[in-house]
């Protein structure tokens, strides 16, 4: 049986990995730079990811982290911004970035997550749940949501295939 610290460390690593891999792949997918708002399409020059952070008061705040293709720079920015949000209990946003949401539902196995786009939150997001180990294989299911004005199923499938390819490359 694994300790709570093992799970916490594993999920912290997975969150970081998915945030970096996702950002890396988002940066290569032109559709992620587009955001539909009020029947208009806005194009951004920079991408970022949004992470929900539990602050020192055990409440949630939003923390945006800018994509950087330098893993060390991304890591440094990620850790600094998360720590700042934890301590200040204030959201930290990047209004000049196209933000892709992330959510980790680490205590639940998921088959998918459904969100009705409200016209307020049209940003794509990537959600994952509890990992599952059967024998020697460990799997982590993800749910990816996007607005169909941004991309179609083919582009979404290409993005998800590339995430799997990047994860497979980690094993070699």
Q: What pLDDT digit, counting tens, does each position of 41-71 carry?
A: 889 998 888 888 899 999 999 999 998 877 7
Residue 86, helix vs strand vs coil = helix
Count CA within 13 A, CB hemisphere, residue 8: 3
* Residues 137/54, Cβ–Cβ less than 8 Å: no
Q: Look up residue 118 and give its two tokens.
A: 């409200």
pLDDT for 1: 29
The runs of H, that is alpha helices, within 34-147 are 71-88
pTM of the model: 0.75
CA atoms of 76 and 11, how far apart (whole Å): 18
**Residues 27 and 67: beta-carbon distance below 8 Å:** yes
The pair of three-digit structure tokens given for residue 64, joined into one six-digit string: 């945006």
User: What pLDDT does 4 receive?
Assistant: 38
Which residues of the chain fall below pLDDT 50?
Answer: 1-8, 10-11
- The neighbour count for residue 106, using CB atoms within 10 Å, is 17
Upper half-sphere CA count for residue 97 (Cβ side, 13 Å): 20
Of 143, 114, 115, give the one whose Cα is nearest residue 128.
143
pLDDT score, position 23:
58
Q: What pLDDT, on the 0 to 100 scale, is given for residue 86? A: 95
Q: Which residue has the tokens 């949000």?
A: 85
pLDDT computed for residue 83 by the predictor: 94
pLDDT at 171: 65
Contact at 8 Å (CB) between 62 and 50?
yes
Alpha carbons 79 and 16: distance in angstroms, whole number: 9
Could you tell me if 105 and 93 are in contact, meaning their C-beta atoms sit under 8 angstroms apart?
Answer: no
How far is CA 93 from its chain centroid?
15
pLDDT score, position 6: 37
């Amino acid at each position: 049986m694994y300790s709570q610290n093992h799970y916490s460390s594993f999920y912290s690593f997975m969150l970081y990995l998915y945030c970096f891999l996702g950002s890396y792949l988002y940066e290569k997918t032109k559709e992620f730079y587009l955001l539909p708002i009020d029947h208009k399409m806005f194009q951004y020059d920079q991408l970022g990811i949004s992470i929900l952070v539990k602050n020192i008061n055990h409440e949630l705040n939003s923390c945006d982290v800018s994509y950087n293709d330098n893993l060390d720079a991304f890591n440094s920015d990620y850790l600094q911004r998360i720590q700042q949000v934890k301590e200040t209990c204030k959201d930290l946003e990047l209004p000049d970035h196209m933000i892709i949401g992330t959510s980790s539902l680490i205590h639940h196995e998921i088959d998918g997550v459904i969100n009705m786009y409200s016209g307020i939150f049209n940003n794509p997001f990537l959600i994952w749940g509890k990992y599952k180990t059967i024998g020697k294989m460990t799997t982590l299911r993800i749910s990816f949501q996007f607005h169909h004005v941004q991309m179609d199923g083919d582009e979404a499938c290409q993005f998800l295939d590339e995430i799997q390819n990047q994860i497979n490359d980690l094993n070699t």
